[in-house]
Amino acid sequence: MQLLESRIIRDGKVKDGSILKVDSFLNHQMDIELFGEMAKEFYSLFASENVNKILTIEASGIGIACITAQAFHCPVIFAKKTKTKNIAGDVFTAKVESFTHGVTYDVVVSKEFLSPDDRVLIIDDFLANGAALSGLASIVKDSGATLVGAGIAIEKAFQPGGQMLREKGMRIESLARIKGMSENGVEFC
């Protein structure tokens, strides 16, 4: 998506070679007009899939997921991160290793909000090693719902998550795919 790529080039900052900071428009300060354009793109990609739930993970996926849900006219569920060992009964859980914080979280979704009748689209801000997406997909599987695919804002295609999950059959649509990056700039696929 040209608009997102241009914005990454203009305002993105590369840290330590593999972290892209997009705090000024995506995951701290949020450009809602840009999110609206991204939502239209996700809608055109998944419009025929009868999506009735959008699933994301806290915190930085929530904004994009909410604006996307307006296009699909459906609710958003965000998986909650918890470090608590004793998780209350009625939840689906998965372990997710955080790429940016190096911590492993249990992520939980209440069983109340996902069922076999649901057709779920996962939305997230980044795809790197694929831990977040794998965890969310396993929650969808445990619930018996159908996973129609994942819409990702920025995929770092030089990291293994996208290839690994596509090889397992997951449909992943990324609006910007980064081939490589350094302090000198970002190159798209």
With CB under 6 A as the contact rule, the residue among 7, 8, 12, 20 that binds ligand 5GP is 20
Contact 26, 14 (CB under 8 A): no
User: Both tokens of residue 22?
Assistant: 């997009």
Q: Does 4 bind ligand 5GP (CB under 6 A)?
A: no
Q: Does 127 bind ligand 5GP (CB under 6 A)?
A: yes
d(CA 123, CA 152): 6
Contact 72, 40 (CB under 8 A): no
Contact 152, 189 (CB under 8 A): no
With CB under 6 A as the contact rule, the residue among 6, 100, 163, 182 that binds ligand 5GP is 100
With CB under 6 A as the contact rule, the residue among 4, 125, 136, 153 that binds ligand 5GP is 125
Q: Which range of residues in 16-24, 34-42, 79-87, 108-116 is near ligand 5GP by CB under 6 A?
A: 16-24
Q: Does 24 bind ligand 5GP (CB under 6 A)?
A: no
What pairing do the DSSP bridges indicate for beta strands 91-97 and 53-57?
unpaired
3-state secondary structure of 93: strand
> In the complex, which residues of this chain contact ligand 5GP (CB under 6 A)?
19-22, 27, 57, 60-61, 99-100, 124-133, 161
